[in-house]
Structure 1
Amino acid sequence: MLSFIKDKQIYFFLLLLLSIGIGLQIVIYKIAIAILFLQWLISKGFKQKFIKLKKNIFAIGLTVFYFLYCMSFFWSDNSAVAFADVILKLPLLILPIVILSQNNLSKKQLNQVFLSFALSSLVLNLYSFFKAYSLYLATNNIDKLYYSNLSLNMHTSAQSMFTCFSIALFAYLFSKDKNLVSKWMAYSAVIIQLIFVFLLSSRMQILIMAFLVPAYLIPYYYKKKKAALGLLYTLFIFGASYLIITIPSTLNSRYDKTVSQINSLREDNGNYDARKFIWKEGLEVIKNNWLIGTGSGDVTDALAARYFRLISGDPITENLAESKVSQTQKSNNGAFLSKQDSIFIHNIHEKQLSVYSKNLLERRIHHYNIAYQRKYNFHNQYLQTFGAIGVFGFLILCFLMIYPVYLSIKKKDYLAISFLFIVGASCLTESILERQAGVAFYALFYVLLIGRISQNKLS
């Protein structure tokens, strides 16, 4: 009995270390995963553990998903990269096996794990801010307080995703356990983290919070019969956000660029986000290997090969330029050019139009050249998975993302919904599961949250 209690205490302590390590992105989380797995191996009751895993559709889904990546090793030419990817994704196998085969944590313990991650994210952001602030004092350049200058130990999008989830955690813990998170603590932490979402300048995460803030505030105050107050708070946050965005900075530049790119979606003027052509070429990679994928070792190389094909040789040939001129001439309704450009082009000489078209092609080639040099991945986890392990991996990933949303709505588990929304939306613009930070974060909180709503049932 004493041994069982001791094992449970060690298990809980390791989960705390794991959540703190993930939040801070320090090596301690890797050590915690290894010890958790070792403890699981030497503990008793394997029969009961496997019965639980067998009955849990999400444990099965994550395990199959991981082994598809393992299998893709055998049809990857770049075996070194494929092997590294299998190691990187190990938390997708270990954490579901360890956590979903055991009894659920108590509500109090689970909340403590959540709080440890939320506080770790807050501490990391504050530390990175003071570090960036020292650079600002040295250079008097306000851009030192934004974007990549604030990211620490991980990609900016991952740190911003962690920040978004920590906001959801603080709000959840305040509403569920006021002894653990007081009012002043919740309000202070949420405000600070919201500011950091803007300072980190990751556009998808800003958009995510634009959905989550009113989705939380308005219903929360509506239940208290203070709907007007919830709406007022929402408007105040949006107003303050607009003021932050309009301050001349990296954030303001990225905002203006985004607006310009959105306005140019129907125009082929070279002014678009790199993801537009990355996804286009990614779909070509998928089309050629849709069944089993190119293999996790070759998927990025296959995409880079598409970039190289478009920049090799002399891309701006006369025939290509004439083709572009023809397209531009046909677009006097604004399909490729703006209205002002159409009026202008209508009155200029064909030679000037040719110069414009060549410049447009050069800007496009420039995009591909940067993508090739930096070996950009798909910048979309769904396409990345499809390209790497084929249609079955893609369908499993979609199932793991979508089906729990239905269960969460049915159970009214708003924290699980928030987590799935944050991760699912982030996967639209980044390949979240291609970095250790994203893999460990997704694996831990997926099994903790979805394990709470699945109750080990296949239904």
Structure 2
Amino acid sequence: MNEVKYNKLYFYILSIIAITLCYPKINAINNISIIILGIIWIAEGKWREKKLRLIQSPIILLVVSFFLLHVISLLYSHNITKGLQTLVDYIPLLLFPLVLGSISCLKKGDIYTIVSLFIASCFVATFICVLTAVKISLWDNLQTDDHWFYDLFTRPIELNSIYFSFFLGFCILCLGAYLFENIGKLSLLKRTGLFLLIIYFLGVMLLLTSRTTLIATLLLGAINCLLYLIKTEGRNMKALGSLMIAPILVVILISQSSFLTQRFSDIKNLNTSAVTENLHSRQKLNLPWSSSSAIRVAIWESSLSVIENNFFTGVGIGDTQEELVKMYYKNNYVFENGYQGHNAHNQFLQTMMTSGIVGVLLLLGIFMVGFFLAWRQKNYFYMTFILYIFLNCLTEALLQRQKGIVFFGIMSNLLFFYFFTKQEVKTKSKMAVYS
């Protein structure tokens, strides 16, 4: 099979992975597609060429080291079965950079299509959720509107609301960047359509009530707009003004909903006194924790306690959750309905609990090198993407679930290749790419 046919196979498989990513109901298709991607990569051969491409990149070394460190941590884990399951989940984090960093470069049009298919897939998912919520409102005669918010809203597609919001934030940043880059080439109808789609996705993100993701999207979107404005020397002031309507609408919508107002005002409970207050209420009055922010602070406190006792090596990939649960009980933190399955809700704390200080330094290195490559090539959108992932990792352990791992692995590589071919990377920066 020649190179052209292999590139077509890569394109089709990557498209399927992107389309099925936000539908857990068909997770098997997504997983099988990832396996097929690896098989095609192995079947293609050309190991000498692939090796030459891979060894040029220090980021590949970081990713391989990050994965191998977790393999090593399995040696001092007590729960080997759990550790092996987690390692299997981590395979896409290693596979995507190896494949996309070593194959002959996909065409920019192919990469644009794959990202566009992902955005279209997310739109269909939001449409399913909205239609279901409308149906419930019209025919089920409920006394509350809870089905419009959070995990109840995403129940039709069975996707965690935080991850769905995370995906939609990425879609918004992509659409905003495309709109600015092509503002002078697009017809009024297309510009209006893109703008309305951005507003629509923002509205759905509000219903999902993921605060960090929404704030990161608005903040980075505004920064990206300013960067493009500087780049174009102020020629797109009207476009900037129209996009600034988005955060104003968000503030108005939050103020008009008691649920959203309470959800976002809860941010002030990110302190230890809120933990004490909620803990006291639960013990004395048998009440659930009233503050999700306080729960996060309690989780972070417990995570730091685990890290303090295992600073250099971590507890091992198989024992991380077990040790964290032990700390919950030690601190008398029993969460809603007795649920103790919360991870660290911070990727850096989660990684440090698992593999110690070396693990978190490698993870930070992946972000820093990716950001440096984008800075060096003046790739503002890729810088925005890295910062978007980084900010979300502060309040969620995004790389602990298959959806986060696959999304990060496929999109970080595809986005770089959209802007730069391997030849440009080789001749200008002498680096291959991964982030």
Q: Is the 8 A contact 1:292 1:391 kept in 2?
A: yes
Residues 1:202 and 2:244 are matched in the alignment: no
Structure 1 11/458 Cα, relative in aligned 2: closer, same or farther at 3 Å?
closer
Structural RMSD (CA): 2.7
CA contact (8 A) 1:14 1:32 kept: yes
Residue 133 of structure 1, CA deviation: 2.4
Distance change in 2, residues 1:40/1:228 (3 Å): closer
Query: Quick one: distance in 2 between partners of 1:74 and 1:29?
Result: 30
Q: CA separation of 1:450/1:386 partners in 2, compared to 1, >3 Å: closer, same or farther?
A: farther
Equivalent residues of 2:180, 2:225 under 8 A apart: no
The CA distance in 2 between the partners of 1:291 and 1:267, in whole Å, is 28
CA shift in 2, pair 1:94/1:218, >3 Å: closer
Pair 78,230 (structure 1): closer, same or farther in 2 beyond 3 Å: same
Deviation readout 1:191-226 (Å, 9 max, x if unpaired): 211111111100101111220232233444563635
Separation in structure 1 between the aligned mates of residue 270 and residue 45 of structure 2, nearest angstrom? 57
Give the match's secondary structure for 1:273. Answer: helix
Mapped contact 1:89–1:439 kept (Cα < 8 A) = yes
Report which of the two structures shows the higher radius of gyration computed on alpha carbons. Answer: 1
Q: Is the 8 A contact 2:302 2:331 kept in 1?
A: no
Task: Say how many residue pairs are matched.
Answer: 402
CA distance in 2, matches of 1:104, 1:401: 22
Q: Please, which moves more after superposition, 389-398 or 409-418?
A: 409-418
Q: Is the 8 A contact 1:63 1:92 kept in 2?
A: no
Distance 1:3 1:395, change over 3 A: same
Corresponding residue for residue 420 of structure 1:
386
39 and 228 in structure 1: CA distance in 2 versus 1, 3 angstrom threshold: closer
Of 217-226 and 389-398, the range deviating more from structure 2: 217-226
Question: Would the alpha carbon gap of residues 173 and 238 (structure 1) be closer, same or farther in structure 2, given more than 3 Å must change?
Answer: closer
Q: Quick one: distance in 1 between partners of 2:311 and 2:302? A: 14
The aligned counterpart of 1:303 is 324
Give the match for residue 436 of structure 1: 402
8 Å contact from structure 1 (residues 17, 32) kept in 2? yes
2:384 maps to a residue whose letter is: S
Contact 2:295 2:335 in 1 (8 A): no
Match of 1:250 in 2: 259
Please say which of residues 242-251 and 31-40 is displaced more in the overlay.
242-251
**Superposition map of 1:119-158 within 5 A:** 119-137=120-138, 138=140, 139-151=142-154, 152-158=157-163
Residues in 1 aligned to 2:95 and 2:244: alpha-carbon distance in whole angstroms: 44
- TM-score, length-scaled by structure 2: 0.85
Q: CA separation of 1:221/1:96 partners in 2, compared to 1, >3 Å: closer, same or farther?
A: closer
* Structure 1 unaligned regions, length at least 5: 312-366
CA distance in 2, matches of 1:253, 1:396: 38
Quick check: 1:171–1:190 contact (8 Å CA) kept in 2?
yes
One-letter code of the match for 1:377? N
* Paired residues for 1:15-414 under 5 Å: 15-25=14-24, 26-27=26-27, 28-137=29-138, 138=140, 139-151=142-154, 152-176=157-181, 182-221=190-229, 223=232, 225=234, 229=238, 232-233=241-242, 235-259=244-268, 261=269, 269-270=277-278, 273-311=294-332, 367-370=333-336, 373-414=339-380
TM-aligned CA distance change 1:277 to 1:71, over 3 Å: same
1:414-440 CA-partner distances (Å, limit 9, x unpaired)? 221222122111110011111111010
Deviations 1:87-138 (A, max 9, x none): 1111012111111111222211111111111111111111122122222332
In structure 2, what residue type is equivalent to 1:162? F
